[in-house]
Chains A and B, each alone.
Chain A
Amino acid sequence: DAGVTQSPTHLIKTRGQQVTLRCSPKSGHDTVSWYQQALGQGPQFIFQYYEEEERQRGNFPDRFSGHQFPNYSSELNVNALLLGDSALYLCASSLGNTIYFGEGSWLTVV
């Protein structure tokens, strides 16, 4: 049984560009949440998708947007990248109170 899978694992972007990160949830999980983890910090909640709708959102600007597909997979989009967006982006899938995380996507903005 595959766990939560994320792609790409690493990427480098230039300030002002746009990036799309992808997540496939664990089999049977219908909810996907995205987190940003800066170096030396705990993960910060960005938003959560359920039934293809954004259900909850953390304190992140509108430059951060997402999407969930009918097969429950999800994308995180970040527009107008800033240097401060450099971080590990984690996807978590859940079913009820069971929450599993993927390996993350390392984003470096230069």
Chain B
Amino acid sequence: SQELEQSPQSLIVQEGKNLTINCTSSKTLYGLYWYKQKYGEGLIFLMMLQKGGEEKSHEKITAKLDEKKQQSSLHITASQPSHAGIYLCGADRRGTSYGKLTFGQGTILTVHP
């Protein structure tokens, strides 16, 4: 089984709908990173969460970290076609990652206009 499981693996929504992507770790989380990737391109940094209960928002995207459950969620409000892409969560296992992350397999988001 994966160290970091993302669910769902893919998601198709109508423009304007809210959605949530989950990331669950089988090991202790010291930090959790969220990135967005367009197919075949690099990763765009969205947010980084370090403390249990921490919640961060940027535009219409909100991420939360539940340290006890070793889980993070990414919520998009009023989705737009520009939100489409692959969302990846990456875990920092050491407390100070120095750039080494363990990634989930990604969630493919499609937003229909």
Which positions in A face B, CB cutoff 8 Å? Answer: 4, 6, 31-33, 40-45, 48, 50, 55-56, 58, 88, 90, 92-94, 96-104, 106
Interface of A is mostly: strand
Tell me how far the C-beta of A3 lies from the nearest C-beta in chain B, rounded to whole angstroms: 9
Number of interface residues of B (CB under 8 A): 26
Q: Which residues of B contact A6 (CB under 8 A)?
A: 42
Given that A101-B35, A101-B42, A102-B42 are contacting pairs, would A33 and B99 also be in contact in the complex, using a CB cutoff of 8 Å?
Answer: yes
CB pair A48 B42 closer than 8 Å: no
Interchain residue pairs A-B with the least CB separation, the first 10: A42-B103, A94-B99, A101-B43, A103-B42, A33-B99, A101-B42, A42-B105, A31-B99, A104-B42, A43-B103
> Among the listed A40, A96, A101, which residue makes an inter-chain contact with B45, where contact means beta carbons less than 8 Å apart?
A101
* A97 lies within 8 A of B48 (CB): yes
Given contacts A42-B103, A106-B40, 14 further A-B contacts (CB under 8 A): A42-B104, A44-B103, A45-B100, A56-B100, A90-B43, A92-B43, A97-B31, A97-B48, A97-B92, A97-B96, A99-B97, A99-B99, A103-B42, A104-B42
